[in-house]
């Protein structure tokens, strides 16, 4: 009985849809990190750390911007954009 439950769980897990946002394509950024204007220093540090480690992983440096421009946005900290 235990094996059947395990198999059923694996089938259900495999059937779940996977959703992901593309941040980098072919070594180039296709997303941006959005930090609200007047963000706290800790939020700016968090955005810089995210930028640093994504660059180490992918080689691409995502820009840090004050507002979304239409690219995939990664929001760091509270802002009018995250309140919507």
Please list the pLDDT of the chain residue by residue as tens digits (84 residues): 556 666 655 666 555 555 567 899 999 999 999 998 888 999 999 999 999 999 999 999 999 999 888 888 999 988 777 777
In terms of phi and psi (left: phi > 0; alpha: psi -120 to 50; beta: otherwise), the region of 79 is: beta
> In degrees rounded to 5, what are phi and psi of residue 28?
-120, 140
pLDDT score of 38: 87
Distance (Å, whole) CA 25 – CA 84: 28
Distance (Å, whole) CA 35 – CA 84: 15
pLDDT score of 81: 74
pLDDT score of 22: 86
Give this prediction's pTM.
0.71
pLDDT score of 4: 61
Distance (Å, whole) CA 27 – CA 32: 14
Helices (H), 1-84: 2-15, 41-58, 80-83
């Amino acid at each position: 009985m235990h094996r059947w439950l395990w198999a059923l769980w694996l089938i259900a897990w495999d059937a779940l849809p996977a959703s992901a946002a593309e941040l980098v394509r072919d070594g180039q950024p296709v997303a941006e990190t959005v930090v609200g204007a007047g963000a706290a220093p800790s939020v700016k540090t968090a955005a810089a750390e995210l930028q640093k480690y994504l660059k180490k992983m992918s080689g691409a440096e995502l820009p840090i911007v004050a507002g979304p421009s239409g690219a995939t946005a990664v929001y760091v900290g509270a802002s009018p954009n995250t309140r919507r």
